[in-house]
Amino acid sequence: MDKFIIEGPTPLKGTIPISGSKNAALPLMAASLLGESATELTLVPKLQDIYTFNNVLRVTGARVDFHEKENRLVIDPKNLSFPEAPYDLVRKMRASFYMLGALVGRTGRAKVSLPGGCAWGPRPVDLHLKGFEAMGIKIDLQQGYVNASIEGEEVEGGEFTLEPSSVGATVNLVLGAVKRAKKFVIKNAAKEPDVVLLCNMLKQMGADIEGIGSSELTIRRTEKLKGITFSNDPDRIETGTFMIAAAMIPGSDLTLTGCKPTDLGAFPKSFQKLGVEFDIDDTTIRVRNSNGINAVNIKTDIYPGFPTDLQAQWATMMTQAEGESKVTDTIYFDRFSYVPELKRLGASLKVDKNKVTISGKTPLTGASVMSTDLRASVSLVMAGMAAEGKTEVLRIYHLDRGYENLEKKLNSAGASVTRVTDN
């Protein structure tokens, strides 16, 4: 298992390019199975989750060629003949569950493993399954697998309300409906940019989807979709992560390029309250922390609210703010596994149900800390760059799932992050 050795403190100065979005790419990859011909996706990041999903797609018989140097992925579903997604792959990455919608969409049937657990949870899929049943798809659970099937070529459809609004359920239901449902309405659909991008891709493939970007999607069946060339979005969570990293370390002056600021929703509004200088133009963001940050409370929400995927990073930054701040997660109620690790660095935080209260500013001193999930891990790296002395971040395979070339990017901006293979 690899670990990072980080020497701090190191202000972040210079320019970092933003990579393609992991959470936007995965639905696009699943949608590629619905085309009659090959689809080419660009701006696909080289991440463990992408490699894992490539293998999930290959199991079905689809051909997948990842031209890594160009971040270009070509998926040809012509020879897809095995509409299944096995447990040993699905358990590695929850988003593999999108195969249910994609395979039912393409072949009219699917056998997909239920996703495994997660570092925090529970992360149920009840809305996915109830939504498919509402659409008219037969769902049968056996030995940890979901068997989905339809009578004939199409289903009546109908309507289904997501409560709560779910990104994954919206993605899965759209994938299952576009080629199979006469008319299907999803109410309280997720509006995250990842969902909008998927719907735009499917429309370009020939799908009939109304209400894109709203919380009510109406899908009408299109029998045949064509393979296309389509670009992924830049990663909005990586963008927010690096903005926070620069804001929390005094003396930073960091420019992010290749951004899509309009995907950040309400995040810039909270960021503004920190009191750091920052400029946003259509693809570039510059953040300077010349003299510290204010304590700013945040509460996560569905898009366009503050993203839960930036909750850990924000709480970590608040350890360096003057005063007390509160970070509340309304999406996941126990996504705070990073807190005990931050305390090992000298931070002062207190968790109460789905809220963490942070007392700052506390000087951070290097120590060994343990990664537990993707966003908690990157928060520990940020804390290590702000801390005095040496920090070891263990089990960084979590990071390799979602941050492309992380140490290369940070070191190019003045950080001191060394990857060590820890046998």
259 is catalytic: no
| String of contacts with ligand EPZ for each residue 292-331, x by CB under 6 A | ----------------xx---------------------x
Give the separation between CA 159 and CA 256, rounded to whole angstroms.
42
Q: Is 375 in the site for ligand EPZ (CB under 6 A)?
A: yes
Neighbours of 226 (CB within 10 A): 12
Q: Which stretch binds ligand EPZ (CB under 6 A): 117-125, 199-207, 265-273, 274-282?
A: 117-125
Binding to ligand EPZ, residues 384-413 (CB under 6 A): 402
The half-sphere exposure of 41 on its side-chain side, counting CA atoms within 13 A, is 34
Contact criterion met (CB below 8 Å) for 94 and 120: no
Using the rule CB under 6 A, which residue among 80, 104, 125, 256 binds ligand EPZ? 125
Residue nearest to ligand EPZ (CB): 168
Contact criterion met (CB below 8 Å) for 332 and 356: no
Using the rule CB under 6 A, which residue among 10, 19, 23, 252 binds ligand EPZ? 23
Which amino acid, 187? K
Q: Is 95 in the site for ligand EPZ (CB under 6 A)?
A: yes
Question: Closest Cα to residue 60, out of 33, 29, 95?
Answer: 33
Nearer to ligand EPZ, 190 or 358 (CB): 190
Q: Is 343 in the site for ligand EPZ (CB under 6 A)?
A: no
Q: Which stretch binds ligand EPZ (CB under 6 A): 118-126, 208-216, 246-254, 313-321?
A: 118-126
Q: Is 238 in the site for ligand EPZ (CB under 6 A)?
A: no
**What is the pairing mode between strands 84-85 and 72-76?**
unpaired
Q: Tell the burial category of 272 from Cβ atoms under 10 Å away from its Cβ (0-12, 13-18, 19+).
A: exposed
Q: Is 164 in the site for ligand EPZ (CB under 6 A)?
A: yes
The half-sphere exposure of 163 on its side-chain side, counting CA atoms within 13 A, is 2
Which contacts (CB < 8 Å, 24+ apart) does range 200-208 have?
Answer: 201/28, 201/31, 201/228, 201/230, 202/31, 202/34, 202/174, 202/178, 204/228, 204/230, 205/31, 205/34, 205/35, 205/39, 207/178, 207/179, 208/178
CB of 177 to ligand EPZ, least distance (A): 16
Q: Tell the burial category of 353 from Cβ atoms under 10 Å away from its Cβ (0-12, 13-18, 19+).
A: exposed
Nearer to ligand EPZ, 166 or 252 (CB): 166
Using the rule CB under 6 A, which residue among 19, 32, 39, 166 binds ligand EPZ? 166
Using the rule CB under 6 A, which residue among 61, 117, 124, 213 binds ligand EPZ? 124
Give the separation between CA 198 and CA 125, rounded to whole angstroms.
20
Catalytic annotation, pick one of 1, 118, 141, 420: 118
User: Active-site positions?
Assistant: 118
Site residues for ligand EPZ per CB under 6 A: 23, 26, 94-95, 123-128, 164, 166-169, 190, 194, 308-309, 331-332, 374-375, 402
